[in-house]
Structure 1
Amino acid sequence: MAKKKDFLPKILETGANELEVIDFRMYEKMEDGSIYEWVLGVNVAKVKEVILRPDNIVKAPGMPPEVEGMAKIRGEVVPIVNLAKWMKIEEPSEDAGKYVIVMEFLREIVGVIVHDAKRIRRIKWSSIKRPPPSIDERLGGKVIGIIEIEGGQLLLLLDFEGILDELGMIKVFGITEEVSEDEVKREGKFKILILDDSPVARKIIRGILEKDGHEIIEAQNGIEGLKLLEKLLEEAKEDGIDITDKIQLIVSDIEMPGMDGLTFTRKVKEHPEFSKIPVIINTSLSDKATVDKAKMVNADAHLVKFDAPDLLKLVHKYAVKKINNKEV
């Protein structure tokens, strides 16, 4: 029976621009026989539990080679991804993968086999730096950022959304469906700012919104988002118009290096001009704590990725319908 490694912490203060990361390790056997230690991380908010590797993993047909199989965990049938296979590393031994990190995001539960789970680290989003191209390319562009830890080691924060998308495990709900006029009142097309550090997520969200006729601008984190808003505000003042004539809606992820979406939203809602712009928190996290955090920073709505009809409904519900200071 799978045993839980119980060290999940309390929720962090909302909008503090901090997160907690599970530090886990993967060990790669090198050509000279030495062992290289990969120091990796995942946001605690995505993690349900860390368990010993279950012995009831069953391979199913049609799965990619990186998916070890399916296992029943606490009554749920969960796909189990072998991270070593995805990383294309040679493991020190056949039984190196001792633990499974059970994650829940994007409405899915998935288990990831890892070699060791070390500890919880509390870090600031501002301390997360972009990875050097060599490291990012080695892991298929799926590194959100790097964090320097003790001993000069670098912890790599992995983009599990991108990994699952690569394995064909991401669902975009309703992407091929037409949303009826009864469901969405199509009262104009809007200029929308989307914030997400994941290129995969930005591509999917941009596709949904552009298909509906909206103009999109992008930012990779809250810092870039605020700079874009400052630029738009300056342009609006020069043109003698309101900021909402330049931008009608913001759709923001939460997990972003530099400045997270909750901190970004709090700053937007505290600004005398930016606060006029509705903000939709669009995240892979669906737990009640995340919804509560979004409310605490005065986000207008919370949405779990990637639900095309629901996103479009919220866009048309909250977008400021003003063009040249006139209601649409």
Structure 2
Amino acid sequence: MKNKDLLPKILETGANELEIIDFRMFEVIENNDIYEWVLGVNVAKVKEVIQKPENIFKSPGMPDEVEGLAKIRDNVIPIINLAKWMKINEPENAGKYVIVMEFLREIMGIVIHEAKRIRRIKWTDIKKPPASIDEKLGGKVVGVIEIEDGKLLLLLDFEGILDELGMIKVFSLSEEIAEGIERKGHYNILILDDSPVARRIIKNILEKDGHKVYEVQSGLEGLEFLQNIYEEAQKEGVDITDKIQLIISDIEMPGMDGLTFTKKIKEHPEFSKVPVVINTSLSDKATVDKAKYVKADAHLVKFDTKDLLHIVHEYAIKK
């Protein structure tokens, strides 16, 4: 049996596909008309969709957008009111459901108005958002997808939203962590991530550890960057690994996801010399299996500073 026969269709890497939950938010606009926001989130980040808990306890010091804490299953998690964050006037009693999500090693609930359906889409169908929409939502739209009836489904940057609310742990290179790392050199590292928040965190950690960091926002940009680096190396009569010693790639990126990017890297006679680490907010087994399937050299869950630096010093090409 071939390897790909072991995986469901949606897990076949190179298909450049993902599944998203299509959910809706309703805004009361002029003349009491209702505007329907069509939003989406990757299924892999979603643990479940439930009715909004009755018992939500407000905790001191939380942002206004956080309704409080609720016990769901065995976890006490923050419940974020998405309508408040979006600054929309919602209909009365509209927030009846909660999407429970896990990423960046945290579990949280997002209050929504309606969960519509699951959609399978291609990363190539995800386009950059119109400036007016992106501005309306504070620059936190990572992409848009045209669906039926000419509507646009918006993919939100939940990492950016949480960072804005001050709910992302500060990931930094402390002296304690620094002392526990066996350093084997300083490297030129390419990072791919469509989230400005994620790029900033990774870049700060790596630069503080003494590495030079290049950053791009998608797999397509990553391939273009490597092609330019390869051409430079050829002109100078050196190997591509003299220019770049490690690649760290997110999975979820518009245009070309990180798994398809990695697959293309590993199939290229020159680019494949550079080790690739898959760095993602997803820690489920399916994601790990996908990373192995495309022959990624390692898999890392955002953002464990110690794990990140251990992997950098273990896998980067030593020059």
Question: TM-score, normalised to structure 1's length?
Answer: 0.92
Q: Provide the C-alpha distance between the structure 2 equivalents of 1:48 and 1:26, rounded to a whole number of angstroms.
A: 20
> Superposition RMSD on alpha carbons, in Å?
1.4
Q: CA deviation at 1:232?
A: 0.6
Identical columns (%):
75
The answer on 1:90 being equivalent to 2:89 is yes
Q: Provide the C-alpha distance between the structure 2 equivalents of 1:175 and 1:74, rounded to a whole number of angstroms.
A: 33
Q: Provide the C-alpha distance between the structure 2 equivalents of 1:186 and 1:96, rounded to a whole number of angstroms.
A: 54
1:182-238 per-residue CA deviation (whole Å, 9 max, x = no partner) reads x32222211100000011111111111111111111110000000000111111111
Please, which of 279, 289, 292 is the counterpart of residue 282 of structure 1? 279
Runs of 4+ residues deviating >4 angstroms = none
* Partner in structure 2 of residue 326 of structure 1: none
Please, which of 208, 218, 221 is the counterpart of residue 221 of structure 1? 218
Q: Provide the C-alpha distance between the structure 2 equivalents of 1:17 and 1:148, rounded to a whole number of angstroms.
A: 17
Q: Provide the C-alpha distance between the structure 1 equivalents of 2:19 and 2:34, rounded to a whole number of angstroms.
A: 27
The one-letter code matched in structure 2 to 1:75 is D
Q: Provide the C-alpha distance between the structure 1 equivalents of 2:96 and 2:173, rounded to a whole number of angstroms.
A: 38
Alignment of 1:48-197 (within 5 A): 48-93=47-92, 95-173=93-171, 175-181=173-179, 183-197=180-194
Q: CA deviation at 1:137?
A: 1.1
SS across alignment from 2:238:
coil
Aligned residues: 312
The answer on 1:234 being equivalent to 2:240 is no
Q: Provide the C-alpha distance between the structure 2 equivalents of 1:63 and 1:10, rounded to a whole number of angstroms.
A: 42
* Structure 1 pair 300–144 and aligned structure 2 pair: CA distance change class (3 A): same
Please, which of 247, 253, 264 is the counterpart of residue 261 of structure 2? 264
Q: Which ranges of structure 1 fall in alignment gaps of 5 or more residues?
A: 1-8, 323-328
Q: Provide the C-alpha distance between the structure 2 equivalents of 1:318 and 1:206, rounded to a whole number of angstroms.
A: 17
Q: CA deviation at 1:44?
A: 0.5
SS across alignment from 1:282:
strand
| Aligned partners of 2:10 and 2:17 also within 8 Å | no
* Partner in structure 2 of residue 41 of structure 1: 40
* Partner in structure 2 of residue 4 of structure 1: none
The one-letter code matched in structure 1 to 2:288 is V
Q: Provide the C-alpha distance between the structure 2 equivalents of 1:180 and 1:145, rounded to a whole number of angstroms.
A: 36
Q: CA deviation at 1:11?
A: 4.8
Q: Provide the C-alpha distance between the structure 1 equivalents of 2:150 and 2:11, rounded to a whole number of angstroms.
A: 26
SS across alignment from 2:57:
coil
Q: CA deviation at 1:306?
A: 1.2
The answer on 1:248 being equivalent to 2:213 is no
Q: Which ranges of structure 2 fall in alignment gaps of 5 or more residues?
A: 1-7
1:97-148 per-residue CA deviation (whole Å, 9 max, x = no partner) reads 1110000111111000000000001100011000111111110111010000
* Partner in structure 2 of residue 296 of structure 1: 293
* Partner in structure 2 of residue 209 of structure 1: 206
| Aligned partners of 1:236 and 1:243 also within 8 Å | yes
The one-letter code matched in structure 1 to 2:132 is S
Q: CA deviation at 1:58?
A: 1.2
The one-letter code matched in structure 1 to 2:207 is E
Q: CA deviation at 1:317?
A: 0.7
* Structure 1 pair 10–69 and aligned structure 2 pair: CA distance change class (3 A): farther
* Partner in structure 1 of residue 308 of structure 2: 311
Q: Give the number of the structure whose residues are more often helix, by fraction.
A: 2
Q: Provide the C-alpha distance between the structure 2 equivalents of 1:177 and 1:32, rounded to a whole number of angstroms.
A: 59
Q: Provide the C-alpha distance between the structure 2 equivalents of 1:192 and 1:304, rounded to a whole number of angstroms.
A: 18
Q: Provide the C-alpha distance between the structure 2 equivalents of 1:73 and 1:188, rounded to a whole number of angstroms.
A: 45
* Structure 1 pair 172–251 and aligned structure 2 pair: CA distance change class (3 A): farther
